[in-house]
Amino acid sequence: MKKAITTIVLAGFLLSSCSSDDPSSGTGTPLGGGGTQTPTTYSDAQLIEMVQKDALKYFWDYAESNSKLARERYHTDNPGQDANVVTTGGSGFGLMTILVGVKNGYISKPEAVSRLTTSLNFLQNANRFHGAWPHWMNGTTGQVIPFSPQDNGGDLVETAFLAQGLICVREYFKNSSDASELALSQKADALWKGIEWSWYTKGENVLYWHWSPNYDFQMNLQLRGFDETLITYILAAASPTYTIDKPVYQQGWARSGNIKNTGTQYGIPLIVNHNGAGGTVGPMFWSHYSFLGLDPRGLSDEYVNYGDATTNHARIMYQYCVTNPKGWQGYNTKSWGLTASYSRNADGTTGYSAHQPNNDLGVISPTAALSNMPYTPAESMSMLRFLYNENYNKYIGVAGPYDAYSIHYNWVTPRYLAIDQGTIAPMVENYKTQFLWQLFMNAPDVRQGLVKLGFHSSQYGF
């Protein structure tokens, strides 16, 4: 049920024609490299560093030129397309990816602080709707770019993905003795506290995705689990300024307990009802977007153990691809993972689809397996080796693994999407060091929000 890019809406952007430009212009040292060398065999440690550096390039070398936030997409076959379309959620993932870059020494802290300050200043002056940013913004003006005719206002879910990143930025720099770092932390805090989560309930016990000054709540899309929107409820409860009460979470996200699922796939418990998945699992991003900061390990409420839910999602996805009930060429233990990404249309052109077991089009999205690294480390590492050691010149480009490929159709798209590249480095880092998980989960307001909703965490002692 991903609203985050629909095929119909995206089609107009895919078919649009723009002149080429250089998206890497602007401040900051380019990371360089990508797509030209012919590797032999890299060690696992080398591979992890390579994919994290490559994914960072999307948000550093190919950022939108004015705001320094994430472009919605970058097409190597048409670099100028939508060059100033900024994505709110993907920018949140980009903030976290940049922090990973600083932590690992891929970019310097002063350069990162300068870049992040530019981005947060842009967000401060951009269009907001009861505190929420729109799905898309013009990176030059900060004005909303309608995602669809009625979707021209606040997008609470995209805003939540951004806020997850803002809180990580705040936490990373909050104890600094450097004036510019401390100011950045305080700016991130102010932006997060300005989001009017409670407005998006309409006074009901559920959160709504959209509000528009022209169309009010006519989009009428409620947030109910299980999908990618859990983080929205967590942050709404954590807000010190516009908070929600526990019944909003219980009746909204948890469906008064109906989120639970006692079924199995491949002998693996489903744990949760995946929206519209027909008794199996949904696209993999449902266990990624909310969990770049939110640590699912040992995290449970009165209904669900989210460590089990996310890990089992990944395990079922792996087993589905290995079992390969549709008989696609190229699905195996090294090449697996279905999620929302670019896709191959029946006529061979590039489209977009939320790939999952009940919508399996023979297309593999590398981000699905790579961002599963905390859940299925051995299986995800097999995919990483397959991409970089066996198929570097075919599937790796200027910003890491291309968005999607199909061995069955001998097809690969030389294109990137922020929301797909943006989960790779953070989730790989969480596998390595739990870096972003620790930043986010130890934030006092986040912990307070989780406790308010009845969560317990064996990892963090509450």
**Is 10 a domain residue?**
no
Query: Residue 111, exposed/middle/buried by CB under 10 A (0-12, 13-18, 19+)?
Result: middle
In angstroms, rounded to a whole number, what is the distance separating the alpha carbons of residues 105 and 430? Answer: 16
pLDDT > 90: percent of the chain? 91
Query: Does the residue 33 lie in any domain?
Result: no
User: Is 126 inside any structural domain?
Assistant: yes
Q: Are strands 299-300 and 340-344 parallel, antiparallel or unpaired?
A: unpaired
Residue 213 lies in a domain: yes
Residues 256-263, mean pLDDT to the nearest whole number: 97
Is there a domain that residue 21 lies in? no
User: How much is the pLDDT for 37?
Assistant: 54
The predicted pLDDT at position 31 comes to 58
Closest CA relative to residue 219, chosen from 129, 90, 124, 351? 129
- At residue 372, does pLDDT exceed 70? yes
356 part of a folded domain: yes
Give the CATH number, domain containing residue 313: 1.50.10.140
233 in a structural domain: yes
Domain that holds residue 83: 50-457
The secondary structure of 4-53, three-state, reads CCCHHHHHHHHHCCCCCCCCCCCCCCCCCCCCCCCCCCCCHHHHHHHHHH
At residue 346 the predicted structure's pLDDT band, cuts being 50, 70 and 90, is: confident
Residue 38 pLDDT: 54
**Looking at the domain assignment, is residue 69 inside a domain?**
yes
Whether 78 has a pLDDT exceeding 60, the answer reads yes
| pLDDT digits 0-9 by tens, 139-171 | 999 999 999 999 999 999 999 999 999 999 999
The tally of domains found in the chain comes to: 1
SS3 (DSSP) at 180: helix
Task: Tell whether the model's pLDDT for residue 374 goes beyond 60.
Answer: yes
